[in-house]
Amino acid sequence: MVQTPKLRSLLEAGVHFGHSKSRRHPRAERFIFTTRDNTSIINLESTARGLDAALQFIEQLASSGKLVLFVATKRQAKMIVTETCKKAGIPYVAERWVGGMLTNFSMIKRSIDRMISLETEKETGLWQSLPKQEVSRLETELLRLHVQFDGVRSLTRVPDALFVVDVQNEQTALREAKSLNLPVVALVDTNADPTTIDYPIPANDDATKALELLIGLVAEAFESGRAKHTAQAEQASAAAAAAKNTPTVATQPSGNGKSGEAADAAKETA
C-alpha cells in the first residue's frame, strides 16, 4: 500500500499554499489553518487525512480491476499528468475536455477507433497512393484526433472513477461524472467547494512540486492496486489450470454386497 508522506514532505512541496483570502470559498474554511500575507494556508493535517483516504480508495478500486481517468487540462498540470500517466499506463485527459467523454462514450469510442485506423493506414503506407490534398486532409484530421483522444486510446468503456487536479477548471467533467454517479477524487484548493467531491484532497493545485508529488502518489496507488489485481488473476488462472490437469480417481460402487448375495442365491437355486 502507498504510504501518505509526512507533513514535512507536504510542507517542502508547498502543498499548504492556497489562494488569496478574497478568493476563499466559504466551504473550504474547515481546511484552512490560517491566513498569512493575505494568502490562505491549508491545514496539512487535513491534507494528509484526505490524501490517505483517496489513496486507499484508488488502490482498492484498481485491485478490483476498475479504471480511473486522470483529468488535468490546466497549463501547470497537463505535462505532469501526461508524463506520469504514459509511464504508468493510465488513461488521461490533458487537453480540452470533449463533451460526452463520459455521457456519450459510444461517440468517443468511434473517434478513438477512427484515430487508430488512420494511424495504421499511415504507418502501412496506404496514404502514399493518395492525392496530396487528400493526404493533407487526413493529416489534419489525425492531428486533431490525436490531440483530443491520444490519452484515452486505451479506454474501451466508461471509467469507474475520476481523478481531477483542478475542481474549478474541470466543471464539465465533474458534471458528467455526477450524472453517472461516478466517484471523484480531486485536489481541492481554497477557492473550490470540497463538498462536491467524494474524496477531496485539500492542496495547492498550482505549484509544480506539489502537483508532481500528489499526482505521482495517486498514480502509484493505482499501479499498486493494479499489480494486486494482476497477481490475483494469475493465481486464479494457475489454480484453474492445476485443477483441470489433476486426474480424477474413479471409484467402483460397492453395491453393499448385494451383487455377491444375488450370485450366491442363483447358485443355490441351480
Instruction: Give residue 249's pLDDT band: very low, low, confident or very high (50, 70, 90).
Output: low
Query: Which residues, at least 6 apart from 19, have a Cβ–Cβ distance to it below 8 Å?
Result: 39, 40, 189, 190, 191
Whole-number Å distance between alpha carbons of 166 and 155: 22
Q: How open is the CA angle 27-102-122, to the nearest 5 degrees?
A: 135
Whole-number Å distance between alpha carbons of 10 and 4: 10
CB 15 within 8 A of CB 42: yes
Partners of 35 in beta bridges: 40
Which residue from 266, 191, 264 is spatially nearest to 26, judged by alpha carbons?
191
Check pLDDT > 90 for residue 263: no
Per DSSP, the three-state class of 121 is helix
End-to-end Cα spacing for the chain = 80
Q: Specify the pLDDT at position 238.
A: 84
pLDDT digits (tens, 9 = 90+) for 101-143: 999 999 999 999 999 999 999 999 999 999 999 999 999 999 9
Instruction: Give residue 251's pLDDT band: very low, low, confident or very high (50, 70, 90).
Output: low
243-270 burial, b at 16+ Cβ within 10 Å, e below that, comes to eeeeeeeeeeeeeeeeeeeeeeeeeeee
Which residue from 79, 66, 12 is spatially nearest to 221, judged by alpha carbons?
66
Q: Which three cell numbers stand for residue 178?
A: 455526477
Which residue from 142, 152, 62, 147 is spatially nearest to 107, judged by alpha carbons?
152
Q: Specify the pLDDT at position 80.
A: 97
Query: What is the percent of the chain with per-residue pLDDT over 90, rounded to a whole number?
Result: 84
Exposed, middle or buried: residue 21 (CB in 10 Å: 0-12, 13-18, 19+)?
middle
Q: Specify the pLDDT at position 243.
A: 82
CB 24 within 8 A of CB 228: no
CB 203 within 8 A of CB 46: no
* pLDDT (mean) for 46-59: 97
CB 186 within 8 A of CB 214: no
This prediction's pTM = 0.87
- As separate numbers, helices (DSSP H) first and strands (DSSP E) second, the chain gives 8, 8
Instruction: Provide the residue type at 2 as one letter.
Output: V
Which residue from 69, 68, 92 is spatially nearest to 80, judged by alpha carbons?
92
